[in-house]
Every structure is written in structure tokens, then in C-alpha cells.
Structure 1
Amino acid sequence: MLRINRRFPLLQCLRHAHNQVRVRFAPSPTGHLHLGGLRTALYNFLYARHLGGKFLLRIEDTDQTRLVPGASERLVEDLLWAGIEIDEGPGFGGQLGPYVQSERKLIYSKAIDELLQNGTAYRCFCTERRLDLLRKEALRTRQVPRYDNKCRHLTEKEVDSLLVKGTPHCIRFKLTDHEEPLEDLIYGRVHHNVSDTEGDPVVMKSDQFPTYHFANVVDDHLMGITHVLRGVEWQISTTKHLLLYKAFGWQPPKFGHLPLLVNADGTKLSKRQGDIGIQNFRERGFFPQALVNYVVSAGGGFDHKANAKLQLLSMEELYEKFQIERVNSHPSRLNPELLEDFNRLELAQRLLGKESRLKLVKQVQELVKKTYPQHSNLDLAEDHIADVLNWSSQRLTLLQDLTSSKLSFLWVKPSDFQLKDLTAHQLNNMLKLLRSLEDFHKDKLNTELKNFAQRENIKFPQMMKTLRAALSGLKEGPGVAEMMEILGQTVTLERLQEALPKEKLPLKQNQ
């Protein structure tokens, strides 16, 4: 039976007052959101939505020394970009805030008083110098550094005397044996007895800010969190959290720990890898749903059919199909090739919708202008870009790939072109031929161009060299027939007509 906590009249058993699942993502604003953080947020969101629950965002900024200005705003921006909807959180409303820990100091202070009064916490006056000596001695004797719980044994009179003197102190929590195993939603029954390996942990620092472990427990309870899904690196700490719940007389939420996210070669994913930040994926041009599918492809949580065709699932499809019992308990390997495959699928999908296709066209227009600022004569017609996107959806991974130097001919029109190896009459005949073609694919084009060279008694290599120059102004790149296919029939005809000598009139459309 839960002990009624009269010091928190606002919330005795709020967790039971909710008929729905409540989960949270609680990042520290100490840097950019990376793949590991996105995975944690995503699985919490999928689990909540699958069961019709709520997803909360809480900013855990109690470590004031490591805060990065603007990090909270960027975290929110990346979450929303990925399609993760925030039901409660800073700037999103909710009845159980504030949702920023630095704004909850009074709440933590009252909670600390509760532990001090029931004897499960105590004031520690040990100096940093003494703690440092303990660490050095443990290392010298090849032991794991741990606090020796000295201040746990101070008498009430000794504590009062030190308080009167204004001696700086922190608050520590008394660890006890915890024999009850953790029923992990992903790993099953797990047991860690932290009192065997750790000293009493600090729960309130001398600067009056709570530590992660303490604030985490208090906030999860007061915010009615029913399920906590977080990285497996926190699994040992969960034992301490369960002891804190017991000290307060609160019922803990259910816990599930997500396995390590690792690189393709099995090495641990690290924040030091500059390429795992969500901002990096965004800047490189990956689409949000492609990245989301990439993350869940490594972690499990879905029925997997062997040799099934790769599918890009919408967020709604993902949370409808999500099953917590199918999340992997072994390290989750990321396969970068899959991300590229997913991105191509999303590109093709976006091309099907009128609004999404137009948005892609606008993005390409901006990319091209940014890539070729020195060119004023760029080919940025919407129909042309749409044709290029259709061609690229099965061949390229990122929109940025369209601005590579070998594909510059797509956008930069040739200038100062002089017609060689072809007379104006021959070029006019070629325009007539190309306009008549219904099949404008490279194999058909190659055949027709060879036949044309033979009929007109033109050396084929020289003719193709001239066409390449007329179409692109480049000396190398894709084959001429492939170049024509990529440019499309309309743009190919336009550029070849522009290659005619200015004193010659271009062939009329009905000739």
C-alpha cells in the first residue's frame, strides 16, 4: 500500500488518476540532438501513440555548468522536424509544469525536506579535497572510487553545529539493499545491487540544484509518468531510482531500457562523431521520415518478414504497428546504406503529391542558385526541375547531389557556343528528328543518333562531341544520349535551337 504523502497534497497518486499512458523525453540542453537521443524520443512517442497516450518534453538543466545557449530551442526544432508531436512541455502547455527543471527548485526543496524528515537522506559536509583524497586512495589500491558514507553517522548535535557555522554541504540519499529485481519491459528480469558498489549518492548539490537521479524521480512522479523508456546505460541507475520511489512511498512507473545504438562495425555510437547529429542529417538533405525509418530499422519493435520489400512507413503507420515486446535487447546496428534507400523512397513519395512536389522544386531552385551564384542564365523552370527529380529519384540519394559538378549541365546553360562538325541545316534536321520521337530514352536516342550520323555522312564521335558542347558546355560527363534523357525532350530541343547561328531562324514547331 502506498503511504500518503501529506507534503505533496497536489499529487498523491497522479499516475493512477490518468487512464492513459504518459511518457517523457527528458534531454539535457548541453548540445545538439543526435541519433541516440532521437531514437529514445521516437520510441517513447511511438509507444505513447500506439496506446493512445501522451508524450511530454522535459528539459533537464540542473547541471548549470554544461548548458549550451540555444540548445533547448534546437532540440525542439529537431523533434518537430522529425514528426514527433509534443503534447506537454515548455511552450506546449500542460497542467503539470513547469517543464524545465531549473524552474522547479522549490518543488525539489520540499521533496528533500521529506527525505530528511523520514531519515532516508542526510546532510554531507565533506569537502571536495576529502572526496578527492578518497578517489586517489581507491585508485592507488585498485578499487572503484566510492564515497565512504562518513557523514551518514553524524549526530544531530554535530549537524546542527556545522549548520550554525554555515559550513557548505550537500544532501545524500541512504542506499539500502534492493533485492527486488527490475522487471524491464525489454530485458526482462534484471538485478543490480548498487549499495555493494557505490557510496550514498548526492541528491541535492551545495548550489541547491538537484542531481539528475533525484530530480528525475520527483518529476516523473509529479508529472504522472507511467512508463520510462531510456537507454540501457541508465539501467543500473534505475535501482537507485526505485529506492527513491520507495523512500517517498510512491509507486514507480514501468521501465524499459533501449539497447545501445552502434555503428555498422559494432563500435559504440558517440556524440564525438560529428556526423550523428540530427542537424548534420538535415543539412546534408536527408528527409525526416527517411531518418525515422532508418532509426527504427536498427532497433526493432515491429514484425519483420524475411526478404520483405523495403517500405517507407509514415509516422502513423509506425505507431500503429509498434510493439514494445519486439524491441531488440541486443545492440542495434545502423546500416547507412538503408538510410540512402529510405531517402530515395521518400523522394519518390514526395514527387507524387502536388504540394510536396512543388516544395521540392522550390528547394532545388534555392540549392542551384546557392551553388552557382556567378551564373545568371540558369535553367530553373518548374517543369524542367520536376523532370530532373523524376529521373533522379531512382539514382540519387540527396537533393544536393543534383548540384554536383558532373550534373552542372542540368542548370547552367552553355554560353559562347560555336557550331562545329554540324552545319545549321544538319542541326535543323536533327531537331526535326528529335521532336518526332515519342520514346526519349537513352537507348532509343543512341540508335537514332547513330542512324542520323550515317544518313548525313557525319563522323559519329565528332557529332556527339558537338552535341555535348551545345547541351552542356562541358567536355565530359554522362553520355550524350543519357544527358538528353536527363534534360528531357523539351529542354534538349530548346538548347539545341539556341545553338543555331543567330542569323539563322530556328525551325518552327509545325515543320
Structure 2
Amino acid sequence: MKLLQRLSMCSLIRCFMTDAPRVRFAPSPTGYLHLGGLRTALYNKLFAISHKGSFILRIEDTDQTRKIQGSVEALIADLEWAGITCDEGPSIGGRNGPYIQSERLDIYKQNITKLLENGSAYRCFCTERRLNLLRRDAVRSYSIPKYDNRCRNLSSKETKEKITAGTPNCIRFKLTSDCQYFEDLIFGGIAYDVSINEGDPVLMKSDGFPTYHFANVVDDHLMGITHVLRGVEWQISTTKHLLIYRAFGWKPPLFGHLPLIVNADGTKLSKRQKDVKVEDYRLKGVFPLALVNYITLAGGGFDHVPGAGIMLKSMDELAQEFQINKISSHPSRLNPDLLGECNKLEIKRRLQNEIESLTLISQLQQLVKKTYPLENLNISDDHVKNVLEWATARIATLDELISIKYAFLWILPSKYNQSEINKQLLEKFVHDLESLKPYDQTHLKQCLRDFSTKNNIKFPMLMKMLRLVLSGLPEGPSVAEMMHLLGKHQSLIRIREALQ
């Protein structure tokens, strides 16, 4: 049954797409771009690429009270950082603009008149005080708070008199007791009678701004949107939107609702834990392509072969694989371990690209200089590249390489008291180190122990001297681990410098 449902979805999509599809991402400028928003934008973009369609960015700012200054620019910057560019939108324009709803008020006024004239909408003069009383009474009687549709029954004469008197009013939509049905591209058949739990909804507020539900329908129609892929929180509103489409006599797009993104244990993502904002991931050193791939590993939609391991895929490769009918209807569970693996793979990929590797080296050099501004540093291009090649199997972000744990990789020993250095012993140790094979922590530990015994020097004293010439730091990893991380070549360089 599930397979037949999926096949029917594929047929539905193919039948609908006689022309190139048009999809959109329509965020509200109320703050940051969160992970769920990024996933929605990504899936719309991949769908557009895979079907040679268009991806539109639209800013839905009808609620001016919640608009945050600068958030539109921040949203666009986050999307571009993630590699998600639009074909039409506020920053580049297009034939269906404006792409910011507050700049489309005349369009909404023209279209609301159509619904008033065909009797699908009416003016409501109820005060906020009366609406609050309705809510309070509903709560007291343990019923669902909703508008009682009082103004729907006003005569034309009464309506004109109130308008003439200057009585503030909004415009509401006449809901019908009609169980609307639609095929959700992800969840399958959905049927719901919105009038059971809601009164007539507001389409235009008294301040002249449309509500989300009205502007959403008008814009999607006028912008030629063929497929709406959005969060599952809007699924319950879709039947209401279908009624508005019908009132206009417009053909609605196909709808697909993406499931929630949750933590591995099923809990909600938390701003406090910094696993919601795209900006937080960027500041933690996560690369764009790594974050994009991380999102695709939760919730389906792609050909991930069990047991094949994680493969980092380009945007075009993801688009080639993306299939709506493969998206799971269950909440998408994130596995933080996979994010680290994706970022490791992205570091490896960048190292293999001549131009991107230079950028990566420069990025790490800047991080080191910013972290240790007063230190004598070893951050030559060759050294940094060698460290990166060694580190790809060990670290998930570049930031890890500037922690105290790895400070010795960069900080060269400062001038130290020569009385603390036994050059004769160091010369002997250089000879032993040169011939050491294999060069790993196990053999390094044994080499250090044997050298201490053979040369009659207390082991702690030997460690203190070697740590001094290797890093100049009073503490850190064991000397054996430090030498292993530095590598034989770099370790010998630092010890030989102490012999000068």
C-alpha cells in the first residue's frame, strides 16, 4: 500500500509538471535562519535544480510588529553562505516582483476586492475587546476559542453605515463546512474540515496589511508557484488555503510538508544548545557543504545506501538524487556525530583542490595568529598544510587545532635559559630519534624510557627538557604524543634548533 501511494505521488508530480516547476522559500524576517528553514530552502532548491525549474525567495513580512531590522539581509547572507542562491528574489529582482510582501499592498487590495464582490469575504467590525471576551468565555466553558462569525450576517446597509461612520474593520473569509481533501506529496491523503475548530479567518487586517494565509495564496498564484514544499506546521492550514484558492477560481499548487527536525533523542532543537541557528554552526567552524550534507542525512529524500558510509556530495549531486517520494513522514532525527564526519570530509575535499587548499591554509593561519597574537609561531604554508593533512582524521573543525591541546603545533619555543639544556644529551637523542622505526607513540614511549635508562637521566628531567625545546610550553600532551603529532621531521628541527 505504501509503495502504491509513493508511485501515485510520482505520477501526480509528473502530470502536474507540464512546464518547468516553480518553487519558493518564504521566510519571515523575524530573526535568524534556523536549521528547519535551511532544510526547507535546500529541498526547494534541489527540487528546482533536478527538474530544471526556478527557485524564488520571497520575504513574508505582513506582521510588521515582529519584523527585526537587518534580518532580511542576514537571511539572504546565510542562504548564500550555504550555497543556496535564488533565481528570483529581493536581491536580484524578477518578473514577478516585488518579492517583499510589505511592498505588495496594492496587489492584495486589488485581490481582496474580488472576494468581497463575489461574496466569499466580508467586513468585520468587531472590536478587540469583544474578541477577547469571546476567547475568555470559550476558555471558561472548556470549548475551542474561535470567532462566532457575527459580522457575516450584517446587511449591505449596515456595512455601508459603519464604513461611512469610520468604524475600524478587517476583512474575513467565509469558511464553509466543507471537508477539504488533498494529496500531500510526503504524508499522502489529508482531509480536514477547518470550520470545526476555527471561525472565519481574517484575510486583511484593519491596518491594510494582509494576513499570512491571504498573502500566501495570492503570491503563490501570481508568482506561478507549482509546488509548495514547506514545514509540517503549515499542513493544518492547507485546507484553509485550498478554500481561498477555490473562492478565487484558481488552480492550487501541489503541497508537500516536511517533517520536523529533532535531536537524536527526539527532543526539540534548542537555541540555548546552539543547534538551531545556521549562524551558530558557521561560527563553530562548520563548512557550508558539510552542513548541507548533514541535513540530508536525516529524514530521507536521497539514496543513502546502508553500510556504505558517509559520502560528501555536491549540490548538483544531491539534486540528481533528490526525490520527494523518498522523504520520510517521521520527524527527522539529527545525529551530531555525522556533522563532524561531514566536516572532516569537507576539509579533506578542500585540501585536494589547489585553490581551496590555499584558502584553507590562510584561514587556519589567521585563526592561529588571532588566538596566539604574542607568540613566536610556526605557521609557514608547508607546515600548516602538513598539519591539516595529518589532522583530517582527527579533528572535525579547524577551531580544534587552535585549542591549548594543539598549541605546540604552532608555538615555537621562546628563548630559554641554556642551563636548562643538556646539549650533549640532546645530540645523542637526535641520533636515536633519527633511527627510530616505526615512528609511532608506542615506539616513541619506549625510545624515551630506554634513553633515560641508558643515559642515566631521570625520566621527568628528560621530559621537562624535551617539552621545553619542542614547544616552550609548561604543560600539554605527553612528550611522546607531542612528538608523534609534530612528526619526526618537525621534532628533529625543533631539537636541533636548541643545539645552535
Q: What interval of TM-score do these two structures reach, taking the shorter chain for normalisation?
A: over 0.9
How do residues 59-208 of structure 1 correspond to structure 2 at under 5 angstroms?
59-208=59-208
Task: Report the equivalent of 1:4.
Answer: none
Contact 1:421-1:463 at 8 Å conserved across structures: no
1:230–1:257 Cα contact (<8 Å) kept: yes
In structure 2, list runs of 5 or more residues that go unmatched. 1-15
State the Cα deviation string for residues 116-142 of structure 1 (Å, max 9, x = none): 011100000100000010010001101
Q: Give the aligned partner of residue 13 of structure 1.
A: none
CA shift digits 1:285-316 (9 cap, x unpaired): 01111111111111210233222212112211
Are positions 1:498 and 2:497 aligned together?
Answer: yes
Task: Give the letter aligned to residue 160 of structure 2.
Answer: D
SS of 2:297's equivalent in the other structure is helix
CA spacing shift, 1:478–1:271, aligned 2, 3 Å: closer
CA contact 1:33–1:75 (8 Å) conserved in 2: yes
Taking only aligned residues, the RMSD between alpha carbons, in angstroms, comes to: 2.1
**In the alignment, is the contact (CA less than 8 A) between 2:437 and 2:443 conserved in 1?**
no
Q: For residues 111 and 87 of structure 2, what CA distance do their matches in structure 1 show?
A: 26
Aligned to 2:317: 317
Matched residue type, 2:479: V
The answer to which of 105-114 and 465-474 deviates more is 465-474
TM-score by length of 1: 0.90
Cα offsets for 1:209-265 (capped at 9, x unmatched): 000000000000000100000111101100111001001100000000111111222
Contact 2:24 2:58 in 1 (8 A): yes
CA 1:195–1:152: 2 relative to 1, 3 Å: same
Q: Could you tell me how far 1:420 is from its partner in structure 2?
A: 6.2
Alignment partner of 2:298: what SS?
Answer: helix
Q: Secondary structure of 1:172's partner?
A: strand
1:5-404 matches, cutoff 5 A: 19-270=19-270, 274-375=274-375, 377-404=376-403
Map Cα deviations across residues 10-39 of structure 1 (whole Å, 9 max, x no partner). Answer: xxxxxx998201100000000000111111
Partner letter of residue 402 of structure 1?
L
Displacement, 1:192?
A: 1.1
For residues 430 and 270 of structure 1, do their structure 2 counterparts lie closer, same or farther at Cα, with a shift above 3 Å needed? closer
Amino acid at match of 2:397: L
Establish whether residue 480 from structure 1 lines up as the match of residue 479 from structure 2.
yes
TM-score, scaled relative to structure 2: 0.92
- Which segments of 5 or more consecutive residues in structure 1 lack a partner in the other structure? 1-15, 501-505, 507-511
* Residue matched to 1:468: 467
* Deviation by residue 1:143-178 (Cα, 9 ceiling, x = unmatched): 111000001100000000001111110000111133
Distance 1:415 1:168 in 2: 77
Instruction: Tell me how many residue pairs correspond in the alignment.
Output: 486
- Provide closer, same or farther for how the CA distance between residues 476 and 273 of structure 1 changes in structure 2, counting only shifts above 3 A: closer
SS at match of 1:299: coil
CA contact (8 A) 1:18 1:224 kept: no
Question: Cα 1:272–1:433, aligned 2, differ >3 Å: closer, same or farther?
Answer: closer
Displacement of 1:482 in angstroms is: 2.5
Contact kept, 8 Å, 1:387 with 1:488, in 2: the verdict is: no
Q: Which residue of 2 aligns with 1:423?
A: 422
Q: Which stretch of structure 1 is more off in the superposition, 262-271 or 415-424?
A: 415-424
Q: Alpha-carbon deviation of 1:475?
A: 3.6
Other-structure match for 1:10:
none
The question of whether the paired residues in 1 share the 8 Å contact of 2:180 and 2:242 is answered with: no
Identity %: 58
**SS across alignment from 1:182:** strand
Task: Output the CA distance in 2 between the equivalents of 1:358 and 1:386.
Answer: 9
CA contact (8 A) 2:179 2:194 kept: no
Q: CA deviation at 1:434?
A: 4.2
Change (3 A) 1:187 1:22: same
Kindly state the Cα deviation for residue 448 of structure 1 after the two structures are TM-superposed: 4.5
CA 1:475/1:43 → structure 2, altered by over 3 Å: closer, same or farther? same
Distance in 1, Cα, partners of 2:146 & 2:209: 21
- Whole-Å Cα distance in 1 between the matches of residues 473 and 430 of structure 2? 20
